[in-house]
Structure 1
Amino acid sequence: MKLNMLAGLAAATFAAASLAATEAEALAIDFGYTGAAQSWVVPDSVVSIQIEVWGASGYTAQLNAGGEGGYTIGTLSVTPGEILWIVVGGQGLSAGTNPSMPAGGGFNGGGDGLTNSTSNDAYAGGGGGGTDVRQGGDALTDRVIVAGGGGGATGNSGSLGGDGGGLSGETGGSAGGDSFPGGAGGTQTTAGLNGGFGFGGSATLAQTPWNGGGGGGWYGGGTSEAHAGGGGGSSYIGGVIDGEALRGGNVGDGMARFTYEMAAPVPAPAAGLLLAGGIAALGVLRRRKAA
């Protein structure tokens, strides 16, 4: 009876040690705005990562809010040791007081706005940058998940920036209706005025001044015609599993978050001593029974 009990104890000890050695520990890491691409090496034993990204918002001009950055979530299959690139968008800034110099686009694709005033730097601003994660390289074509940035606003009544995010960004607001339309939002295949793949549209000197810049994203939002806000950039979920892209929700710089699980092994000496003790006791009992 004692032999059977001790054998059971040894087996239970071994099972407990094995279970503890393979128990997963959930970890999360955040990547804030730095103005440059950031790299991260996938740890040992990690094969899947939940990724969340937030796009940056566009510039707020006087009482008109810049467009909010979007939110995107999805799961990415990874290989231990591979490098992922994280590019966090920067908030759109003021276009300044020079009607001959577009400015203010946020880092990672935010388009420049253009003021019509030499006395007030709150009249127009740039779009916010998109936030994305890249796998297999650091080029725009390596992006696997994107959150669009918001469009920049102008100081004219109603000229808000369009929200970024979703599969299509929001069109910017306008004070002049069809005569002065806001910048169009980026979609999955097209950008707004002067925008493109990965960047929002910037105002040019060929346009009548007082323009909001487009938000960055998968495809960027467009800059506006005069007296209107820029469009929001689109998001992208084509490189992840169970992806979801929502429009708006973030004000300020963008952000990215990785959540993943790693094995949390019990220190080898502790597990080994437990198992060795059980086996040794089993041997002693067997010798006593034989005697």
Structure 2
Amino acid sequence: MRKLERGLLIAGILAFASAMAQAQTTTFNYTGAEQTFVVPAGVTTITVEAWGASGWSGTGAPGGLGGYATGNLSVTPGETLYIYVGGQGTVANGDRVPAGGGFNGGGNGQSNGFEDIDGSVGGGGGASDFRQGGNTLNDRVLVAGGGGGATENATPGGNGGGLTGSDGGQCCGGSLATGGTQVAGGSLGGSFGQGGNADPVMTPWNGGGGGGWYGGGVSDAHSGGGGGSSYIGGVSGGSTTGGVRSGDGMVALTYSAAVASTPVPALSHWGLLALGLILVIAATWAIPRRRASR
């Protein structure tokens, strides 16, 4: 009996271990396009981490760094989730040249429209976000803001949020390009999901605003773009950190899926009778052997 009990205990432990949840992480890097993820069987909660992209550097000044956001999301097995990974802004040199904003909301920077000045300006970095129930801006449940682009006067871009993006650096009498917030875009052009775009006439020599929940703004002259805001309103246990990512953004999903154990085939009625008969014969055979050993 003791051997039987030990065997049952070992079998139970092995079955429990085989069914234990095993953590897995899936990482999404920048591609410049929408990416998707189908929730595996047995998964009901996913921990989401996102890093926004940085703005491009100008002459003598860095672009703003991308922000970070994380939280837990309730999901349904089989549903499709949508991932957008922000791209870093690009650079412009010379007269009347735009600096393209990064994928997913980075605003364009712009060189001067009136005179040829040596130097470079940067576009804003794109946000990285996670969407559930659809792939529109309104379906975003978690966002990491992108950094603003820098400009030629050693004026940096603002960092992506945090719940609020940082303001861009200010120079030469230009207005302050503010960061995006939870309810509004930054001054001069920041909007829902989009960083402000610098204009060759109205806003020359400016870095672009960073993408975000709300994008960062741009200045009216010679200043860095504001950073975009992050967002955690669609997740539980969320948190954000501003200014942590250089280059393109990234998204990581961590989840636990139970590994199903191999099912034991069920015995039929006759199979149970046969098993019982075998056990009776085995017990009958074992009793005389025990008596003889005494």
TM-score w.r.t. length of structure 2: 0.87
Q: What is the one-letter code of the residue matched to 1:13?
A: I
Q: What is the one-letter code of the residue matched to 1:108?
A: N
* Secondary structure, aligned partner of 1:261: strand
What does residue 276 of structure 1 align with? none
Q: Distance in 2 between matches of 1:287 and 1:174?
A: 95
Aligned residue among 140, 145, 148 for 1:143: 140
What does residue 254 of structure 2 align with? 259
Counterparts of 1:34-45 in structure 2 under 5 Å? 34-45=31-42
Superposed displacement of residue 72, structure 1: 0.7
Q: Retained in 2: the 8 A contact 1:20–1:264? A: no
Q: Distance in 1 between matches of 2:236 and 2:255?
A: 14
Q: Distance in 2 between matches of 1:250 and 1:66?
A: 11
Q: Distance in 2 between matches of 1:288 and 1:73?
A: 65
Aligned residue among 186, 190, 195 for 2:180: 186
Q: What is the one-letter code of the residue matched to 1:219?
A: Y
Q: What is the one-letter code of the residue matched to 2:86?
A: G
Q: Retained in 2: the 8 A contact 1:95–1:112? A: no
Aligned residue among 137, 160, 166 for 2:162: 166
Return closer, same or farther for 1:56/1:10 CA change in 2, 3 Å cut-off: same
Q: Distance in 2 between matches of 1:253 and 1:155?
A: 22
User: Are positions 1:126 and 2:123 aligned together?
Assistant: yes
Q: Distance in 1 between matches of 2:117 and 2:279?
A: 89
Number of equivalenced pairs: 277
Q: Distance in 2 between matches of 1:90 and 1:124?
A: 17
Counterparts of 1:189-200 in structure 2 under 5 Å? 189-192=183-186, 193-200=188-195
Q: Distance in 2 between matches of 1:143 and 1:282?
A: 62
Q: What is the one-letter code of the residue matched to 2:51?
A: W
Q: Distance in 1 between matches of 2:190 and 2:101?
A: 12
What does residue 275 of structure 1 align with? none
Identity value in percent: 50
Superposed displacement of residue 19, structure 1: 0.5
Counterparts of 1:269-288 in structure 2 under 5 Å? 285-288=282-285
User: Are positions 1:217 and 2:212 aligned together?
Assistant: yes
User: Are positions 1:204 and 2:199 aligned together?
Assistant: yes
Deviations 1:187-213 (A, max 9, x none): 000001212100100012441410110
Counterparts of 1:14-33 in structure 2 under 5 Å? 14-33=11-30
Superposed displacement of residue 286, structure 1: 2.9
What does residue 247 of structure 1 align with? 242
Aligned residue among 148, 151, 156 for 1:154: 151
What does residue 111 of structure 1 align with? 107
Counterparts of 1:39-58 in structure 2 under 5 Å? 39-58=36-55
Superposed displacement of residue 119, structure 1: 6.9
* Secondary structure, aligned partner of 1:56: coil
| Structure 1 unaligned residues grouped into runs of 5+ | 270-278
Q: Retained in 2: the 8 A contact 1:173–1:181? A: no
What does residue 227 of structure 1 align with? 222
User: Are positions 1:237 and 2:269 aligned together?
Assistant: no
Q: Distance in 2 between matches of 1:138 and 1:168?
A: 24
User: Are positions 1:95 and 2:89 aligned together?
Assistant: no
* Secondary structure, aligned partner of 2:142: strand
Superposed displacement of residue 10, structure 1: 3.5
Superposed displacement of residue 265, structure 1: 3.4
Return closer, same or farther for 1:110/1:208 CA change in 2, 3 Å cut-off: closer
Q: Distance in 2 between matches of 1:44 and 1:255?
A: 25
User: Are positions 1:7 and 2:4 aligned together?
Assistant: yes
Q: Distance in 2 between matches of 1:202 and 1:48?
A: 37
Cα RMSD, aligned residues only: 2.4
Q: What is the one-letter code of the residue matched to 1:15?
A: G
Return closer, same or farther for 1:11/1:92 CA change in 2, 3 Å cut-off: same
| Structure 2 unaligned residues grouped into runs of 5+ | 265-274, 289-294
Superposed displacement of residue 222, structure 1: 0.3
Return closer, same or farther for 1:288/1:103 CA change in 2, 3 Å cut-off: same
Q: Distance in 1 between matches of 2:31 and 2:244?
A: 21
